[in-house]
A = this chain, B = another copy of it.
Amino acid sequence: MDAARKVFVTKGMDGARMQEIADEAGINKALLHYYFRTKQQLFDAIFEESMGKLVPNVMEIFKQKSNFREKIEAIVEAYDSVIRKNPFLPQFVIREINRDPDQLAGAIRSRGFDSNTLNGFLDEDIKNGVIAPITMPHLFANLVGMMMIPYAGRPLLQQNLFNNNAEEYDKFLLERRQVVTQFILHALQYKGDNPSGWRQNVVHIF
């Protein structure tokens, strides 16, 4: 599984070779088939595992944290820690969900991502004037996009923004959690969870 993960996540289903996985594992190609029967089955196992990692339980976080700042910090932290441990996960997932969108149905099931409940949490903070109005899909897309693109688009960004200096880019990645958190809180004009006094000053844009 370790060998398969390494090869699949970097090369993708189409680019991966059973021979390479076997070599990586230090075993024989036939033995690999003995364990997993087909390449597809082996891939499915890795894909499902990856989806489980990358889709953190946002529901739990929203339920546990009452303070809006803490909610954002916890979600950003959840993505950051997972991705930093698995830097190739974003590009792998993007690659594979687009290659075969249907496989999502199987991998997502059991992951109780209920958008209606999440919308409720957000709407309450908006109604109370804690944050500027925004819908959950936009907020979520912004957060996920900002967290994932530095990894998924690393070759391009490192080339264009850092003259291909990998060390500088690694430093940049370490700053992302803090920057994205602050970026979101400022964008939503968050000033604290007790909005008395400035509640009326929130500019309604979204």
Could you list which residues of chain A lie within 8 angstroms of chain B, going by C-beta atoms? 10-12, 14-15, 55, 88, 91, 93-95, 97-99, 101, 104-105, 108, 113, 115, 132, 134, 136-138, 140-142, 144-150, 152-157, 159-163, 172, 175-176, 179-180, 182-184, 186-189, 203, 205-206
Contacts and interface: CB of A to CB of B under 8 A. Distances in A.
B157 A141 contact: yes
Contacts of A105: 159
Given A113-B160, A138-B175, A138-B179, A155 B15 contact: no
Contact of A94 (B153, B179, B186, B188): B153
A101 B179 contact: no
Nearest to A11: B99
A148 to B, nearest CB: 6
Given A108-B160, A146-B142, A156-B93, A99 B187 contact: no
Q: Taking each of A157, A161, A172, which has the highest tally of chain B beta carbons within 10 Å of its own beta carbon?
A: A161
Given A182-B206, A189-B186, A137 B149 contact: no
Nearest to A103: B155
Contacts of A189: 186
Contacts of A206: 179, 182-183
B179 A183 contact: no
Contacts of A108: 159-160
Closest 3 CB pairs of A and B: A145-B149, A14-B14, A145-B145
Contact of A161 (B104, B115, B134, B157): B115
Contacts of A150: 141, 145
Given A183-B142, A187-B183, A137 B152 contact: no
A155 B179 CA distance: 27
A146 B153 CA distance: 13
